[in-house]
Structures are given as C-alpha cells and as structure tokens.
Amino acid sequence: MATELEIRGHLDLMRSLPLPLARLERSLGTVQWPGQHMRLNFPGGMELSPDQRTDLESRLQALQRLMNGEYLPAGECTKARLSLLTRLLMGFPSAGNQSDLATDARLGFYLEAISDVAPWAIDAAIKRWVRGDVENANVDFAPSPGALRRLCETETEPFKQQMRQVERLLSAVSIDRAMDPKPMETALRSIK
C-alpha cells in the first residue's frame, strides 16, 4: 500500500501541468462552424507530437487514478475513508448520548457525501478543519457532510483544473483542420 509520504510526493509532482504545456494550452484558439461543436486549435504550425500526446494521455490517466483513489488496492479506499471519518467523528463527538442507530445514520451521511472522494483529499480537508484553516465556519464542531465535501472539492480543484487543461490539449487540432468546415468528431468531455 502507498504510504502517506509517497502519496504526498506524487500529489506534489502532479499539482500542475509542466510550464511549456500550460503555455501551449493557454494559446489555444477556437473556431465555431454553424451547427457544429466549437473546435480548439493550436497556433499556426503547432501540434502535439506523438510522444507529447502519449505523455498527456498517461498524465490524464494518472490524474484520474489520483482523483478516484485507484492508487490504493481494491477495498482499501473504502477502508481509508471509513477510518478518516471515524477519526473525525471521534475527535468531534456530538452533543448528548447518541444511540447506535443515530451514530450509524450520521456515519452513513458522511460516507454518502464523500463516497467518490480520494482518501488523500478527505485527509487534507480534515486537517484544514482541525487547524481552523476554514473561513466562516465554527470549527469547534465537526463539519457537516456537505461542508466536508466542499472542503474536499477545494483540495481536488487544482487537479481537476489540470485534467481540463490536458483534455483541451488532447482535443485541439491544427489550425488548418479547425478552419475546414467539414464536420469533426468531438472528443472533449466535461470534467466537473
């Protein structure tokens, strides 16, 4: 199983697109033909080399594994989420005595809220909450399931942004192809 230091190191390496590719992504133009999807195009005379395309496809796959927790063996992702939530809820107990049924329901709400979030993002969000590094929130109590999810989304946003950049690069065509009015198949998908 990947250690926390290995995961942190991988996160640091994957946090942003290499500068030359980031510049290229920002330089993409658009062409819109009536009744067709908008086309992204490279500046005149530029295109991705086959090696660059392969590297970007590999990077996109690595980012997807990072975002959905596939870097952990099967079943470990769910265990890690449960462990993190248990630690959070034990550290911020609820007011009064709760029945086992109420505790299970509370844990169920949290699990539902973060069922598709990678454990590293949950861990980072909990650490931010515990440190009080959250604006306009009463950090004397555990975050609500929705608040925890929003914190997790804040942690994952740089990686989602990079996935969108990579998708844009992979879907871009040469300026000559973009200016050709013949219909094209679009490969750009929406990354939320």
pLDDT mean over 102-124: 91
For the chain, give the number of residues.
Answer: 192
Q: What are the tens digits of pLDDT across the range 5-15?
A: 566 666 777 77
pLDDT mean over 42-68: 91
pLDDT at 184 over 90: no
| Per-residue pLDDT, 160 | 93
The mean pLDDT value of the chain amounts to 86
Q: What are the tens digits of pLDDT across the range 63-93?
A: 998 888 887 887 888 899 999 999 998 888 7
3-state secondary structure the chain: CCCHHHHHHHHHHHCCCCHHHHHHHHCCEEECCCCCCCEEECCCCCCCCHHHHHHHHHHHHHHHHHHHCCCCCCCHHHHHHHHHHHHHHHHCCCCCCCCHHHHHHHHHHHHHHCCCCCHHHHHHHHHHHHHCCCCCCCCCCCCCHHHHHHHHHHHHHHHHHHHHHHHHHHHCECHHHHHCCCCCCCCCCCCC
Q: What are the tens digits of pLDDT across the range 132-151?
A: 999 888 888 889 999 999 99
pLDDT at 2 over 60: no
**Confidence class for position 188, pLDDT limits 50, 70, 90:** low
Cβ atoms 41, 25 nearer than 8 A = no
pLDDT mean over 153-158: 94
| Per-residue pLDDT, 1 | 45
